[in-house]
């Protein structure tokens, strides 16, 4: 298999290492910084350093655009233009809606699938690349109704081959989710430290062994400045909406605390503990893999449709395979999910969409 | 030296253990729960279990009131009444102003010094008591203009003898400081989880490998419910004031983000990073913090192994964070040490143990 990595930093380099080691892929790299290519070659992250986008893309089954968020629209558009029809293009940016919407009417957009691995969102250079960076990590993919099934399949197989766990999700849903679990905590951390720095004048007491809650809550404050302005700017509405929501909750908490009623304070505090437990326990993996098999018409968008529907219901597709029939008008799809009950739930969802689904007996 | 411990839970028991081992003190304990006294005796945290306050206080140089915050006013007043003029009384509550102000006109108030160790603020029982709980920990004392010098001296000597680092601070300043570094982060953690639970409906996508920033920021959400309603209720104004301040900052951040100007976002984010560095470096020897990151197998004992190896080499780990991978078989560990040379020395030690370690570039 041939893969292309366009942009060779920590993420691109780690993709190259994992693809070569785990998939035995032949990896071509392109980067505007020649030094990054040299280092990547030295580290064994690339088989060859290409002199241009098209040279890197030549014969590639999947191309990973691994540039900073602000550079992605041009890079992906350039890759779509330079690549042949057999090459699926994906990216690794932390926000997805603006990019995906912006490319919708670009010629060849059916070959693009937005992506976001939850790993190594650092700006550290290629010298920190690791072949196991994506091992077990969630990797979101954001296909649309216009995405080609075969292209989606190639991307998700490559990603699973890197050791990651792909999951399809709507781009806007992805961005709201990231606003909740990542972008808002970042904003809050920034606000906490700046508020603390303002309350504590120069030379005043500041415990060097400051409590674990402040330390934990502000660990990321100001981290990775090179990536965050891009993230905030490309996820403006979702992040600002989350900030409004938490500001409202904080106002209510201030009122509750000013009231000082012990029972009310206790109930509020305990409810937060319950919320946290529920959130962190959600979606834990649950049992041996089960295979579901279905036959579908081979029309564009069908794979994305199924993957997104399952993603919306919180089904974690551990693996997926497409088997086009000889006539290319229909095809079989196999899906693997973890656990008996999850397999039955998944089958029910798919049947609800009008598909005929067989749960393959265990051991077959 | 004779000491009295009034209230024998985690803190009281740990005071008893440390006082007997480190100071060779004779420790008498009193608790309304007879079972706590029995366990404390079994653990060697007390020399004798007293049947009353006065019996425990008899001949004591210092008495530690180690009850929940809401029980302290009565306990301290009772101890002042029951104790002779030679006994200094202190407490270990997490808030100080209400208690200290409330006792100001109590007869014998010159014998009371408010106290707050930054250690073990748990409600775990005496069975978790440890003789080294206060080793190197900050222990605030809040003397007033009415505090007897000799009583203050006895309290602070006893505390230093337990291994802690006493520091005098005005009670109201203490409460504002705690509001900033501990109570506000607790409120924010609660609000973050509840906001996330509300945005994410039942069955919707919730990444089980949720990002480290959310995990860190909400680690304490809902923790130790038995102590927090008391803390909020007795530090109402300072906590509510801090909440108002951060809500204002969050509103400004939402506006900045809605504006979407990259340079302004970047400047705001970098300023927060500077604020955090400044806060955490305050009073810290050895230079700015550097982060080392490594991936390890998630087997039992691995963290202890690393910490002990570094301890043997005299490396001071300023902070540490663990991020288990989704598969729970591996995990990332971040360590922070102070100073460039110390960071490089630490990395070399860890590499010598066979780990692959990345020194995270500054400002990332």
For residue A330, give every residue at least 6 positions away whose Cβ sits within 8 Å of its Cβ, in sequence order, or none.
A295, A296, A297, A298, A324
Give Cα B71 distance to the centre of its chain: 20
Which residue intervals of chain A bear CATH 3.40.50.720?
Answer: 2-169
Closest among A126, A78, A251 to B188, alpha carbons compared: A251
SS3 A139: strand
Average pLDDT over residues B9-14: 94
B206 vs A335, higher pLDDT: A335
| Whether B208 and A284 lie within 8 Å, measured CB to CB | yes
Of the given ranges (B194-203, B209-218, B315-324), which has the lowest mean pLDDT? B315-324
A327 vs B149, higher pLDDT: B149
As a whole number of angstroms, the distance between CA B363 and CA A123 comes to: 10
Asked if pLDDT for residue B208 goes beyond 70, the answer is: no
Strands A26-30 vs A2-6: parallel, antiparallel or unpaired: parallel
For residue A201, give every residue at least 6 positions away whose Cβ sits within 8 Å of its Cβ, in sequence order, or none.
none
Interface test with B, best of A116, A123, A218 (most B CBs within 10 A): A218
Asked if pLDDT for residue B184 goes beyond 90, the answer is: yes
| Whether A200 and B223 lie within 8 Å, measured CB to CB | no
| Contact list, A352 vs chain B (CB under 8 Å) | none
What does the longest C-alpha to C-alpha distance in chain B come to?
69
Asked if pLDDT for residue B122 goes beyond 70, the answer is: no
Q: How high is the pLDDT of residue B203?
A: 47
Average pLDDT over residues B193-206: 73
| Contact list, A200 vs chain B (CB under 8 Å) | 177, 180, 279
Minimal Cα–Cα distance from B42 to chain A, Å?
31
Which residue intervals of chain A bear CATH 1.10.3660.10?
Answer: 174-281
Q: What is the mean pLDDT of chain B?
A: 87
Give Cα A174 distance to the centre of its chain: 8
Cα A151–Cα A163–Cα B306 angle in degrees, nearest 5: 155
| Contact list, A268 vs chain B (CB under 8 Å) | 190
CATH superfamily label, A174-281? 6-phosphogluconate dehydrogenase C-terminal like domain (1.10.3660.10)
Minimal Cα–Cα distance from A98 to chain B, Å?
13
B88 vs B362, higher pLDDT: B88
pLDDT digits (tens, 9 = 90+) for A12-21: 999 999 999 9
Q: How high is the pLDDT of residue A268?
A: 96
Binned at pLDDT 50, 70 and 90, residue A297 comes out as: confident
Helix or strand holding residue B254 (H, E): helix B236-259
pLDDT digits (tens, 9 = 90+) for B87-105: 999 999 999 999 999 999 9
Q: How high is the pLDDT of residue A127?
A: 86
Q: Are B358 and B293 in contact (CB under 8 A)?
A: yes
Minimal Cα–Cα distance from A209 to chain B, Å?
7
Q: What is the mean pLDDT of chain A?
A: 88
| Whether A218 and B261 lie within 8 Å, measured CB to CB | no
Q: How high is the pLDDT of residue A286?
A: 62
| Whether B275 and A181 lie within 8 Å, measured CB to CB | no
Q: How high is the pLDDT of residue B123?
A: 57
| Whether B233 and A261 lie within 8 Å, measured CB to CB | yes
Cross-chain CB nearest to A200 (options B137, B180, B284): B180
Q: What global pTM score does this model have? A: 0.79
CATH superfamily label, A2-169? NAD(P)-binding Rossmann-like Domain (3.40.50.720)
Binned at pLDDT 50, 70 and 90, residue A267 comes out as: very high
Which residue intervals of chain B bear CATH 1.10.3660.10?
Answer: 174-251
| Contact list, A279 vs chain B (CB under 8 Å) | 193, 196-197, 200, 206, 210
Closest among B189, B265, B276, B240 to A239, alpha carbons compared: B265
Provide the CB-side half-sphere exposure for A322 (13 A, CA): 25
Binned at pLDDT 50, 70 and 90, residue A62 comes out as: very high
pLDDT digits (tens, 9 = 90+) for A16-40: 999 999 999 999 999 999 999 999 9
Cross-chain CB nearest to B326 (options A165, A208, A240): A165
Supply the CATH classification number for the domain B174-251. Answer: 1.10.3660.10
Q: How high is the pLDDT of residue A202?
A: 47
pLDDT digits (tens, 9 = 90+) for A117-163: 988 655 578 888 889 889 888 899 999 999 998 999 999 999 999 99
| Contact list, B191 vs chain A (CB under 8 Å) | 246, 249-250, 253, 272
As a whole number of angstroms, the distance between CA B326 and CA B212 comes to: 12
As a whole number of angstroms, the distance between CA B15 and CA B117 comes to: 11
Whether the ipTM is more than 0.90: the answer is no
Helical pair B184-199 and A236-259, crossing angle rounded to 10 deg: 130
| Contact list, A116 vs chain B (CB under 8 Å) | none
B190 vs B208, higher pLDDT: B190
| Whether A250 and B246 lie within 8 Å, measured CB to CB | yes
Phi, psi of B330 (to 5 degrees): -130, 175
Q: How high is the pLDDT of residue A121?
A: 55
Average pLDDT over residues A213-230: 86
Measured in Å, how far apart are chain A's first and last C-alpha atoms?
A: 28
A360 vs B281, higher pLDDT: A360
Phi, psi of A61 (to 5 degrees): -80, -40
Cross-chain CB nearest to A257 (options B199, B223, B239): B239
As a whole number of angstroms, the distance between CA B146 and CA A305 comes to: 75
Which residue intervals of chain A bear CATH 3.30.70.260?
Answer: 289-359
Strands, sheet with A48-49, edge to edge from the N-terminal-most edge strand: A48-49, A26-30, A2-6, A62-65, A88-91, A112-117, A138-142, A165-168
Q: Give percent of chain A above pLDDT 90.
A: 60
Domain B289-359 falls under CATH 3.30.70.260: yes
Q: Find the length of chain B.
A: 364
Q: Number of Cβ pairs closer than 8 Å across A and B?
A: 364
């Amino acid at each position: 298999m041939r893969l292309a990595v366009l942009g060779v930093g920590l993420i691109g380099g780690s993709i190259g290492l994992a693809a070569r080691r785990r998939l035995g892929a032949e990896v071509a790299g392109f980067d505007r910084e020649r030094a990054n290519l040299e280092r990547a070659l030295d580290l064994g992250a690339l088989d060859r350093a290409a002199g241009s986008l098209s040279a890197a893309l030549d014969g590639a089954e999947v191309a990973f655009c691994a540039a900073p968020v602000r550079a992605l629209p041009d890079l992906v558009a350039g890759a779509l233009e330079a690549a042949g029809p057999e090459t699926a293009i994906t990216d690794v940016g932390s926000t997805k809606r603006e990019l995906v919407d912006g490319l919708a009417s670009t010629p060849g957009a059916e070959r693009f699938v937005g992506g976001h691995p939850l790993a190594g969102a650092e700006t550290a250079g290629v010298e920190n690349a690791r072949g196991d960076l994506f091992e077990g990590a969630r990797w979101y993919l954001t296909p649309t109704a216009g995405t080609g099934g075969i292209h989606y399949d190639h991307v998700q197989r490559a990603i699973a081959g890197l050791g990651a766990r792909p999951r399809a999700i709507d781009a806007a849903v992805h961005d709201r989710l990231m606003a909740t679990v990542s972008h808002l905590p970042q904003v809050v951390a920034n606000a906490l430290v700046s508020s603390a720095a303002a309350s504590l004048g120069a030379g005043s007491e500041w415990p060097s062994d400051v409590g674990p809650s402040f330390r934990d809550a502000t660990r990321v404050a100001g981290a990775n400045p090179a990536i965050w302005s891009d993230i905030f700017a490309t996820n403006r509405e979702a992040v600002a909406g989350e900030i409004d929501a938490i500001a409202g909750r904080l106002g209510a908490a201030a009122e509750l605390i000013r009231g000082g009623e012990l029972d009310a304070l206790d109930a509020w505090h305990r409810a937060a503990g319950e919320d946290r437990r529920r959130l962190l326990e959600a979606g834990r993996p649950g049992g041996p893999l089960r295979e579901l098999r279905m036959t579908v018409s081979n029309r564009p968008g069908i794979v994305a449709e199924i993957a997104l529907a399952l993603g919306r219901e919180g089904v974690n597709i551990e693996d997926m395979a497409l088997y086009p029939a000889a006539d290319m008008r229909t095809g079989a799809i196999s899906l693997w999910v973890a656990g008996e009950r999850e397999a039955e739930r998944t089958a029910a969802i798919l049947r609800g969409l009008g598909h005929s689904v067989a749960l393959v007996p265990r051991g077959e």
